[in-house]
């Protein structure tokens, strides 16, 4: 049997979630190793000393330690649903959105969800900052069925795990906001086969020599 790529993952991590979504849609076979972030396996740290998930170890010896790199690799192997942006305009829009998502929005999300980690009394100001960007997604979804255009694609898969995390911090507040299309989009994602599949609970991986 050919050696499979090995994915080190943590179920609730949004970065790992979006990597698993791309691997799932690509149909690429891989070995899933669910890890405990408080007890990271030595093999994962040897492959990627930064110690964060996801990490994909390829049979060639190459290690992909960024979620977007894993997504691109998987979809370059096989992209049956045409997730990758097909035009230069869509690629530019996707890149701009991801720069904001992984930069400013993620910083605001962390401070909203875990204010004490940052010496804050609460995260409400950062909730407001994050909400301003979510309103731009609402406008996008009023003009197209998905962030990627007419069909669910790469940008949707990148963004949805983080919007879900933002929403779950205070779902009552989130559901009361003026973004009906965004709320509908998120609910559809949470009810999708893709979400159910990648969020299936995996047993914790234990190294054979542990």
pLDDT bin (cut points 50, 70, 90) of residue 210 is low
Domain ranges of the chain: 6-81, 88-194
Residue 1 pLDDT greater than 60, yes or no: no
Q: Which fold has domain 6-81?
A: Glutaredoxin (3.40.30)
Q: What is the per-residue pLDDT across 148-200, written as a single tens digit (0 to 9) for each?
A: 999 999 999 999 999 999 999 999 999 999 999 999 999 999 999 999 999 99
CA atoms of 189 and 194, how far apart (whole Å): 8
- What residues contact residue 125 under an 8 Å CB cut-off, 6+ apart? none
* Residue among 132, 127, 73, 75 at smallest CA distance from 100: 132
Residue 121: predicted pLDDT: 97
Residue 127 pLDDT greater than 80, yes or no: yes
Q: Kindly state the percentage of the chain with pLDDT values over 90.
A: 97
Three-state secondary structure call for residue 192: coil
Q: What is the per-residue pLDDT across 99-114, written as a single tens digit (0 to 9) for each?
A: 999 999 999 999 999 9
Report CA Rg, the chain: 18
pLDDT bin (cut points 50, 70, 90) of residue 74 is very high
Q: Which fold has domain 88-194?
A: Glutathione S-transferase Yfyf (Class Pi); Chain A, domain 2 (1.20.1050)
Residue 208: predicted pLDDT: 85
Q: What is the mean pLDDT of the chain?
A: 96
């Amino acid at each position: 049997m050919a050696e499979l790529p090995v994915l080190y993952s943590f179920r609730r991590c949004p970065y790992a979630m979006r990597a698993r979504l791309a691997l799932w849609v690509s149909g690429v076979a891989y070995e899933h190793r669910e890890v405990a972030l408080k007890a990271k396996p030595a093999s994962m740290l040897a492959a990627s000393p930064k110690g964060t998930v996801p990490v994909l170890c390829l049979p060639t010896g190459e290690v992909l330690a960024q979620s977007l790199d894993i997504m691109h690799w998987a979809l370059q192997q096989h992209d049956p649903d045409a997730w990758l942006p097909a035009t230069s305009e869509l690629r530019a829009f996707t890149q701009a959105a991801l720069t904001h998502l992984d930069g400013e929005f993620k910083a605001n999300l962390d401070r909203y969800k875990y204010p004490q980690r940052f010496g804050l009394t609460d995260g409400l100001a950062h909730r407001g900052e994050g909400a301003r960007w979510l309103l731009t997604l609402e406008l996008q979804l009023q003009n197209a069925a998905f962030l990627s255009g007419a069909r669910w694609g790469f940008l949707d898969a990148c963004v949805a795990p983080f919007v879900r995390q933002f929403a779950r911090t205070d779902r009552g507040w989130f559901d009361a906001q003026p973004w009906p299309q965004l709320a509908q989009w998120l609910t559809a994602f949470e009810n999708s086969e893709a979400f159910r599949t990648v969020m299936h609970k995996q047993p914790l991986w234990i190294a054979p020599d542990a």
